[in-house]
Amino acid sequence: MTAQLPAKNAHALGDLHSLVGALAGIEAGLATLAVTPGQEVVGTAPPPDLAVKLAILARACAEPGRGLTPSLAPFAASGHDYPAIDRLLFPFATDARSVLEELADLDLLRRELHNRVHVCPRCAACQINFRETCPGCGGIDLAIERMLHHFACAYVGLEREFADGAELQCPKCRERLFQLGQDFERPHETYECRTCAALTETPIVGGQCLHCAHVFPAHGARLLDIHTYAPTALATRALELQRLTALQVADLLFDPDARLARLDYLVLEARREFTRLRRHPGALSAVRMRFQVGGEPFAFFRCASAREVHDFGRLLATKLRDLDLAAPTDPATLSLLLPETDAAGAAHVADRIGELCGGLALRSPEGHAVTVAFRQHTWAEAPADIEDSLQIVRGLD
């Protein structure tokens, strides 16, 4: 015989099933945007795109004096957040610090130390509980107890061992203790383990991550630097070109550290040198350096990162004089302007730069060896047609 539910109860059960189904749907939807304190957004949210990263750079450039300064955030993995950047990133599957670090690695943002925190060596969360533990059994139930030292018999023990009602009596020699400083002293306090009764003055300090429950010695905690991020000169250029990579250092007017200039600046200096040759005798040389792979031009200034181009420029500067100037003329070519340099001197400069590039062992993204080829031109006097000669400087001869 099959039991029949009353109609009222059956209707209520149906409503309960509907409610459970609705809750399951809500939970499934929330799972795609679930945020665990101290972690990135998990689920199906996409990573931030180029437009979002450019918006972050624009925000940094809008506050050049302050930069992107973090705020204290106890529930964030690092204990800090960047509220303005978090708003730009919602609901992308990342946190502000990781994107800012990526932009800093591209030399688009400059790091300035703001704070330093200890984080878990396993999950990198800063929510850590540091506690004293017993060196013997590893227990955490430690109590601080006062010690007494009886002068007469030199016995040292816990104060409770001396307690005899309202008075104090030495447990060793049974003599009464009356005057602090004359009969006895309290030299220090000690830790007593209530698990194994061991005494210690130097308990072991350990850490327990409140996020992943990992237990580790205190010295195992990692240090994490928290930065304020300020825009670099390349950040402005990235906004102009609407890209983050392949930012040619030559797009800047001049980088005195890397000694790489914008082509327009190089041409301006060449025009000045040609004007000088009209008034004063001397020599001026231009050397064109082309990166090649298998005899074909290789776009070094497009394929290399801003950092690689900057590092190359700094090494190149060691082979040039203060008056010399270098600027990319296209993604595969570098033009060198060498004032007061004759043909032999220009050839010597080319040889030194060739040795430098050989030592760098440059490779294309496919792993092919990158070589360099040189072409030079020298003027012993001012050219009749300066504009034609400037075409040589531009690498268009």
**Structural domain contains residue 34:** no
**Structural domain contains residue 149:** yes
What average pLDDT does range 289-311 have in this prediction?
84
DSSP alpha helix (H) spans, the chain: 7-31, 50-62, 83-89, 96-105, 159-162, 233-241, 263-279, 300-303, 306-317, 343-360, 386-393
Measured at the CA of 223, the angle between CA 217 and CA 226, to 5 degrees, comes to: 150
Rounded-to-integer distance, Cα 245 and Cα 106, Å: 7
Conformation bin of residue 338: beta by default, left when phi > 0, alpha when psi is -120 to 50: beta
Residues spanned by the domain of 98: 50-124+223-240
Q: What is the tens place of the pLDDT at every residue in 232-255? A: 877 877 887 788 875 654 445 556
Neighbours of 329 (CB within 10 A): 20
**Structural domain contains residue 373:** yes
pLDDT at 18: 57
35 pLDDT more than 60: no
One domain, residues 172 and 299: no
pLDDT at 21: 55
Contacts 24+ apart (CB under 8 A), 168-175: 175/150
201 against 34, higher pLDDT: 201
Work out whether the CA dihedral 305, 308, 312, 314 comes out positive or negative: positive
Q: Which two tokens stand for residue 303?
A: 């394929």
Rounded-to-integer distance, Cα 307 and Cα 311, Å: 6
Rounded-to-integer distance, Cα 23 and Cα 316, Å: 65
- Lowest-confidence region among 178-192, 283-297, 345-359: 178-192
One domain, residues 295 and 383: yes
The SS3 call for residue 1 is coil
pLDDT at 302: 80
Q: Read off the pTM.
A: 0.48
One domain, residues 284 and 190: no
First to last CA, the chain: 103
One domain, residues 297 and 381: yes
**Structural domain contains residue 278:** yes
pLDDT at 292: 93
One domain, residues 198 and 85: no
Q: What is the tens place of the pLDDT at every residue in 369-381? A: 999 999 999 999 8
Contacts 24+ apart (CB under 8 A), 101-106: 102/53, 103/53, 103/56, 103/57, 103/229, 103/235, 103/244, 104/227, 104/229, 105/307, 106/234, 106/244, 106/245, 106/305, 106/306, 106/307
Amino acid at 348: H
One domain, residues 270 and 387: yes
Strand order in the sheet with 204-209: 128-133, 204-209, 215-217
Tokens 């797009």 sit at which residue? 251
One domain, residues 171 and 291: no
User: For residue 1, what pLDDT band results from cuts at 50, 70 and 90?
Assistant: very low
Percent of the chain past pLDDT 70, that is, above it, reads 84
118 has which bridge partners? 223
20 against 218, higher pLDDT: 218
One domain, residues 107 and 175: no
pLDDT at 211: 92
One domain, residues 231 and 90: yes
pLDDT at 353: 92
The chain-wide mean pLDDT, for the chain, equals: 82
pLDDT at 40: 43
Neighbours of 162 (CB within 10 A): 20
One domain, residues 84 and 140: no
CA dihedral 79, 80, 85, 88 (to 10 degrees): 20
Number of domains in the chain: 3
Phi, psi for residue 117 in degrees, rounded to 5? -125, 155
What average pLDDT does range 188-214 have in this prediction?
88
User: For residue 310, what pLDDT band results from cuts at 50, 70 and 90?
Assistant: confident
One domain, residues 264 and 368: yes
Element (H, E) at 192: strand 189-193
Q: How buried is residue 51: exposed, middle or buried, by Cβ count under 10 Å (0-12/13-18/19+)?
A: exposed
192 against 92, higher pLDDT: 192
What average pLDDT does range 91-118 have in this prediction?
88
22 against 278, higher pLDDT: 278
**Structural domain contains residue 215:** no
**Structural domain contains residue 38:** no
- Lowest-confidence region among 55-59, 222-226, 298-302: 298-302
Looking at residue 235, which CATH number applies to its domain?
1.10.10
User: For residue 31, what pLDDT band results from cuts at 50, 70 and 90?
Assistant: very low
**Structural domain contains residue 263:** yes
Strand order in the sheet with 167-169: 163-164, 167-169, 176-177
376 has which bridge partners? 287
One domain, residues 55 and 108: yes
pLDDT at 143: 84
pLDDT at 92: 74
Phi, psi for residue 121 in degrees, rounded to 5? -70, -15
**Structural domain contains residue 171:** yes
Answer for the pair 284, 274: CB distance below 8 angstroms, yes or no: yes
Rounded-to-integer distance, Cα 288 and Cα 373, Å: 8
pLDDT at 395: 77
